[in-house]
Amino acid sequence: MEEDSGKAKYYVLMEELKMDIVSGRRKPGDRLPSEHELSASCHVSRHTVRKALSILEQEGFIEAEHGRGTFVSRKAGRKQGSGNIAVITTYLSDYIFPRLIQGIDSVLTANGYSIILKNTGNSRLRESKCLEEILEKDIDGLIIEPSKSDIMCGHKGLYDKLDFYQIPYVFIQGCNTHMKDKPHILMDDSMGGYLVTKHLLELGHEHILGIFKADDSQGRNRHRGYVKAIQEAGFSYDPDMVVWFHTEDRMTKPSGALRLMLEEGVPVDGIVCYNDQIAFEVMKTIEKGGFSVPEDISVTGYDNSFIAENGLVKLTTIAHPQERLGAMAAELLLEKINHVPDEESKVERILKPVLIIRNSCRDRRL
């Protein structure tokens, strides 16, 4: 057993045994060494071995048979072919999600699959509960948009179970930072943030505020693109010109921070917003503060949603191919279900962003 001073010995042993099982080094039905044998080979007490095995049994990776020993659970060898695919998104009924799900459904239905649909409300706790629920069902695969994807996942064991049960899964719109080796479909959000910021810079804006989401990878990457464009234009990056918000304060923090900046006279002539929803709230705050969009302050969004096309001021934004993104995720999952070799089925697929120019940005060079 490898030494790991940061973790209890029983936990290190449990992780090593679990990795053996998940990786396939120990197959369903294989008998594990006895407590005495594990104690001797790993140089730990039998009490330590017992605690490690107890966790693995509780999580369903092993099963004890009285008088015979402890075996790798045979559940991993269960038959697939249920015709069910689980789809877990952060939200369901608003914004871009109906069309995203429509893209997934169009591909899966054409291939004879039915969808089990769940949403997390972008809550890590609800995500873990959704995963627990689908693990109790007969499913052939999973498409999941991870909740708060820029924060370390606290329930990786549930993904280990999916691997153990040989249920393929595909991340969509985000990917947990420590699971980049898993199949995923993403937008190039760094390029998207770069494109909208560069557009404002090319129109002569010099005081560009950035508003980004702190707890998902999309926000982090859009901010990265914002920084790149600012620095390429010869400006110094100013952290005071960036507002970070979280899922829980998304309806109050961006507008509240902007209102204070305007009241204090901080020069702002353009705003790069995390998405169209935030841009819509920002434009309302600008109007309430006695300013106009785009005459006084230009605003950009992200996603090219219904909001961008149908507001009083049509929003410059980044096109989000919702249906195509969903369809690509379904196609990649089907490849994994059908055991297409990895060299023929790329783990990472990236969609390139497209800038949609409307009238929410003013040319300040004129």
Q: HSE on the CB side for 69, CA within 13 Å?
A: 12
pLDDT at position 343: 64
Q: Which of 31, 50, 77 is the last residue of a domain?
A: 77
Report yes or no on 365 lying in a domain.
no
Report yes or no on 62 lying in a domain.
yes
Report yes or no on 63 lying in a domain.
yes
Q: Which of 281, 300, 320 is the last residue of a domain?
A: 320
| Distance linking the first and last C-alpha atoms of the chain | 70
Residues 122 and 221 in one domain: no
Q: Do the bridges between strand 62-65 and strand 69-72 make them parallel or antiparallel, or are there none, so unpaired?
A: antiparallel
pLDDT at position 134: 92
Residues 211 and 281 in one domain: yes
Instruction: Say whether pTM exceeds 0.85.
Output: no
Determine the Cα–Cα distance for residues 205 and 364; give it in Å rounded to an integer: 7
Report yes or no on 357 lying in a domain.
no
pLDDT at position 228: 98
Residues 160 and 109 in one domain: yes
Domain that holds residue 310: 189-320
Residues 201 and 238 in one domain: yes
Q: Considering its fold, how many domains does the chain have in total?
A: 3
Report yes or no on 303 lying in a domain.
yes
Report yes or no on 3 lying in a domain.
no
The CATH number of whichever domain residue 59 belongs to comes to 1.10.10.10
pLDDT at position 153: 82
pLDDT at position 178: 80
The CATH number of whichever domain residue 166 belongs to comes to 3.40.50.2300
Q: Kindly state the tokens that stand for 346.
A: 């790329």
Residues 196 and 301 in one domain: yes
Determine the Cα–Cα distance for residues 283 and 285; give it in Å rounded to an integer: 5
Residues 211 and 300 in one domain: yes
Report yes or no on 286 lying in a domain.
yes
Nearest-CA neighbor of 160 among 16, 30, 330? 16
Residues 194 and 316 in one domain: yes
Residues 99 and 144 in one domain: yes
Q: What is the mean pLDDT of each run of 10 residues along the chain (366 residues)?
A: 67 89 83 92 92 88 89 68 93 83 96 95 93 90 93 85 90 86 93 98 98 95 98 97 96 97 97 97 97 98 93 94 94 92 74 96 93
Residues 57 and 96 in one domain: no
Residues 203 and 300 in one domain: yes
pLDDT at position 19: 84
Report yes or no on 93 lying in a domain.
yes
Residues 327 and 314 in one domain: no
Residue 294 preceded by cis peptide, ω within 30: yes
Residues 197 and 315 in one domain: yes
pLDDT at position 237: 97
